[in-house]
Amino acid sequence: MLKQQFTLYLENRPGELAKITKKLALDKINLDGISVANSPDVALVQLVVSNAAATRRVLKSGGVAFTEQKVVLIPLENKPGALAEVVTLLGKAKININYVYATACEGKNGCNSYAVISTPSLKKVEDVWKKVS
């Protein structure tokens, strides 16, 4: 499934991520996926959220620098090799991956894990996945 991802550019100092996640929580925005990478000055935070429009409003009103891009979420079983299966299929289909990160769950009570994939071929990833699922 295609989802909107937000890449936030935060100062790399204590409490910055907490400020943003609290603001999102106050607006009842769920984090479907998150990845954080840092450098000495900037933390890059990638978020996949339950409500893109509300997230955009929260970030703009808070003066947070961000960009948006589409990513594809592929469901993963909670088992060894699940990600390997997905990326093997994409490799065989000659789909290059820019980056990937995953969500997690214990696999209980209908909880789903997902691989969040950035690629220049989002539609092709969806087409490949539809054939195997």
Q: How close are the terminal C-alpha atoms of the chain, in Å?
A: 12
* Domains of the chain and CATH, by start: 2-70 (3.30.2130.10), 71-132 (3.30.70.260)
pTM given for the model: 0.88
pLDDT tens-digit map of 97-115: 999 998 877 766 667 788 9
CA distance linking residue 13 with residue 58, whole number of Å: 20
Q: What is residue 110's predicted lDDT score, i.e. its pLDDT?
A: 67
CA distance linking residue 100 with residue 40, whole number of Å: 23
Residue 9 C-alpha from the chain's centroid: 15
On whether the CB atoms of residues 75 and 127 are closer than 8 A, the answer is no
Q: What is residue 39's predicted lDDT score, i.e. its pLDDT?
A: 84
pLDDT tens-digit map of 21-70: 999 999 999 999 999 998 888 999 999 999 999 999 999 999 999 999 99
